[in-house]
Amino acid sequence: MTGSPLIEIRAGSLSRGGRSILDHVDMAVRRREIVTLVGPNGAGKSTLIKVALGLERLDTGEVHRAINLKVGYQPQNLALDQTLPLSVKRFLTLTQAQPAARLQDILGEVGVPHLMDASVHTLSGGEWQRVMLARAILRQPDLLVLDEPTQNVDTAGAVEIYQVIARLRDAIGCGVLMVSHDLNVVMAATDQVYCLNGHICCSGHPTDVSRDREFQKLFGPTAAATLAIYPHKHDHVHAPDGTVTHGSVAEGCGHDHHHPHAH
Amino acid sequence: MLNDFVVRAVIAGLGITLIAGPLGCFVVWRRMAYFGDTLSHAGLMGVALGIMLGVDPTVGIVITGLVISLLLLGLQQQRRLPTDTLLGILSHAALSIGLIAVSFMDKVRFDLMGYLFGDLLAVTTTDLIWIYAGGACLLTALAFIWRPLIALTVHPDMAVVEGQGRLPVRLTFMILMALAVAIAMKVVGILLVTALLIIPPAAARRFATSPEGMAGATVVIGGLAVVGGLAASFTWDTPSGPSIVAAAALLFALSLVAGLIEDARHA
């Protein structure tokens, strides 16, 4: 794709308390690329994210980070203690002061411009996820790392948040690494999927991954089928002659011509 | 005309409030009430250490507080036992060792009750110097780590990714806690130090919309508790430390009532 990876993990292995959590994992994120990690609970998704961020060390393997890589990180399960009074504005500027106009712009970009002075304790699940996303992009990161950015958000809200993420990627030109459970919706805006279960079961473009036998074994044929539905819609939008493509996924390949496909 | 010792008690109490307010907020935000207890229980061991070494007991208290903090940091590196269990071990081991050490000191004039419950009315000018000089250093250091400490309180990993040093800030905070507990023990004694750290912030929470606002409100409420408690102590000849804590608890109850009235008005 575009140049060398922002971050690359080679043959990364890590175990805790005698239990293997990551096993020879290879992964890379490039600029302008959206990479999604999927996998069952306990598959090591959050651990892999922490390795990428430098919060956890690998036992064996290598992590390569681009020089002066600026990272925006949205952690999973950030539940704020009620005892700490905090406005959205203050939450955004916890580690770095920012001009008010810029904060206002960013909140506008994620679709919650009215929340600047609200208390973080009064936000809904969706509003809170958007505010955390705003915080992650505030530093103009090269790499955006999002651990379940749509937790506690309904499906419609989740679709919107993934659209916002894709738009931000286009605007800032950053790479995106995220963990998601929303198999069916997340794929809309994903360039590369890694299916993780301790080791990488399969990886590639969403369409290919959904057909992969390992993936079907892990998530069941139903999940794989819902996953495969999305590229159809995508085909429809991007079909060169404007017609609706109802062909099977194996044949319909009009969704994205920039990616090499392994058939 | 007020007696000298009353004036000294009020000045000392207000000084402690200035220190305990902002630090106490962090104790509440970071759920460290038990850590405060552990430090104060270890204080008795510190007093014994100070007397044995022939230095001011406050020095002994600070030293044991630091040792206990470092032990805790070290023990937290292993992940098998949770922090509250570790604190329970450290706290009661230190208290027991302190009581044993004190039992060997029957030759020395030792006011155990004074250390357990404190005696603000017996504060000396040296104590005042400890409180204000120590407090000034402490608050200056706290101002330096204020921002990163709040970021680390919100989410440690997020703060680290954004370039905040986790260990230096936590270590500094623990040192400040050890100092603050050593100083505050003068006022309310070993058994009630934690109360002074957590009741005023708990009462202040309702009235604050920012961390700094909460620290300010905590100092005001703590000051009221000190003045009210001392007035009660002077009027009814009640013990000063418990009177201050009781006054703080009363203010907390009033804050709850104020909150209920406010909620009813908005409903």
Mean pLDDT of B49-53: 82
**One-letter amino acid for residue B106 of the chain:** D
Q: Is residue B239 part of a domain?
A: no
* Full-model pTM: 0.83
Confidence tier at B47 by pLDDT (50, 70, 90): confident
Residue B259 lies in a domain: no
In a domain, B199, yes or no: no
Single out the residue of B21, B18, B10 nearest to residue B226, CA to CA: B10
**Cβ contacts of A75 on chain B, cutoff 8 Å:** 155, 157-158
Higher pLDDT, B88 or B56: B88
Asked if the Cβ–Cβ distance from A95 to B205 is below 8 Å, we say no
**Within-domain flag for B116:** yes
Average pLDDT, chain A: 78
Chain B residues whose beta carbon lies within 8 Å of the beta carbon of residue A96: 162
Residues of the domain holding B16: 4-191
Q: What is the pLDDT of residue A185?
A: 72
**B233-263 tens-digit pLDDT:** 989 999 888 899 999 999 999 999 998 888 8
Residue B8 lies in a domain: yes
DSSP state of A9: E
Gap from A139 CA to chain B (nearest CA, Å):
9
Q: Who has greater pLDDT, B157 or A247?
A: B157
Q: Write out chain B residues lying below 8 Å of A54, CB-based.
A: 161
Q: Do A80 and B208 touch (CB under 8 A)?
A: no
Looking from the CA of B1 toward its CB, the CA atoms found within 13 Å total: 2
Please give the pLDDT value at position A237: 37
Give every strand in the sheet of A175-179, ordered side by side.
A71-74, A143-147, A175-179, A34-38, A192-197, A199-204
The enclosing domain of B92 has a CATH number of 1.10.3470.10
- What pLDDT was estimated at residue A261? 42
Question: pLDDT tens, A116-131?
Answer: 999 999 998 889 999 9
- Considering only residues A89 and A263, tell me which one the structure prediction assigns the higher pLDDT: A89
Of residues A81, A85, A94, nearest to B151 (C-beta):
A94
- Residue B231: per-residue pLDDT: 94
Chain A residues within 8 A of B154 when measuring between CB atoms = 78, 80, 84, 86, 91, 94
The most confident of the ranges A2-6, A177-181, A182-186 is A177-181
**Where do the domains of chain A lie, and which CATH numbers do they carry?**
54-173 (3.40.50.300)
pLDDT band at A234 (very low <50, low <70, confident <90, very high): very low
Closest Cβ–Cβ partner in B28, B154, B213 for A94: B154
The minimum CA-CA distance between B161 and chain A, rounded to whole Å, is: 7
What is the token pair recorded at A35?
């990479």
Number of domains in chain B: 1
* Structural domain contains residue B177: yes
Q: How far apart are CA A136 and CA A113, in angstroms?
A: 16
Mean pLDDT of the A155-164 span: 85
pLDDT band, residue A2 (cuts 50/70/90): low
Question: Strand A192-197 relative to strand A34-38: parallel, antiparallel, unpaired?
Answer: parallel
Per the CB < 8 Å rule, is B209 touching A94? Answer: no
- Answer whether A108's CB lies under 8 Å from A167's CB: no
B174 part of a folded domain: yes
Is A80 an interface residue toward B (CB < 8 Å)? yes
The interface residues of chain A toward chain B in range 82-141, judged by CB-CB distance below 8 A, are 83-87, 90-91, 94-96, 119, 139
| CA-angle at A132, arms to A72 and B22, nearest 5° | 100
| Residue B33: inside a domain | yes
Residue of A nearest to B159 (CA): A95
pLDDT value, residue A58? 87
- pLDDT at position A222 is 62
